[in-house]
Structure 1
Amino acid sequence: MPEKTLPAVHDGFMKPHEAARELGCGERWLRDGANHRGFPHHRLGKFLQFSRQDRDAIRVLCRVPARGMRAESRRRPQSTAKPVHSAT
């Protein structure tokens, strides 16, 4: 009886260097995040892999929200220089 083989399912899994390129970060930073900072990932045997959902979750985890400028910081500061008087 022939042995059954399972079809290879890629399902958006990427190796660390591929995922880092897509995320716009360094591979070492991504590996450290998976190993030490709790980034979502998969271990397939000894290999580290990142699914599409893992990469989306990392984007959300590392998002830095925009900060609006406070009203008082938008105004130009008043000059503290003393006015120059002309001699008459």
Structure 2
Amino acid sequence: MAAPTKPKPVLEHYYDVSQAAIRLGLREPEDDSKKGEKWLRDGVNKLGFPCHRMAGQLKFSDSDLAEIADRHRSQRHGNSGTRRKKRTTRAPALTAALPEHAAAA
């Protein structure tokens, strides 16, 4: 009986940060701004987004982007809930601000 052979790894397509932002729909292809790129970089550094580092660059494969999209598909964002009213401090009472001889008169 022959030893089982390992399947050959499939080479996925890799995207840099700006291409990944476009692929996830965070910005339009003709938009030259950096929309979505900071979110992706912060996600890698703080939230543990899946990624690859090649030649000192951050790269995302198709499966990485699918996992990122799946993680954030149904999460509520910080500004989507109802807002509470801010508490206001009350002004000090006027009698406390009057001098003692004026309050006695």
Same fold (TM over 0.5): yes
Q: Does residue 49 in structure 1 map to residue 59 in structure 2?
A: yes
2:16 paired residue number: 15
Using the TM superposition, give the Cα deviation of residue 46 of structure 1 relative to its aligned residue in structure 2, in angstroms: 1.0
For structure 2, the residue ranges without an aligned partner over 5 or more in a row are 1-10, 27-35, 76-105
**For residues 11-58 of structure 1, what are the alpha-carbon distances to aligned partners after superposition, in whole Å with 9 as ceiling and x for unaligned?**
210000000011022111011101111100001131000001000000
The secondary structure found in structure 2 opposite 1:50 is strand
Moved over 2 A (4+): none
Corresponding pairs, count:
58
For residues 11 and 62 of structure 1, the distance between their equivalents in structure 2, rounded to whole angstroms, comes to 22
Q: Percent identity?
A: 41
For structure 1, the residue ranges without an aligned partner over 5 or more in a row are 1-9, 66-88
Provide the TM-score with structure 2 as the length reference.
Answer: 0.50
The RMSD of aligned alpha carbons is 2.1
For residues 61 and 54 of structure 1, the distance between their equivalents in structure 2, rounded to whole angstroms, comes to 11
**Matches for 1:1-88 after TM superposition, within 5 Å:** 11-25=12-26, 26-64=36-74
Provide the TM-score with structure 1 as the length reference.
Answer: 0.59
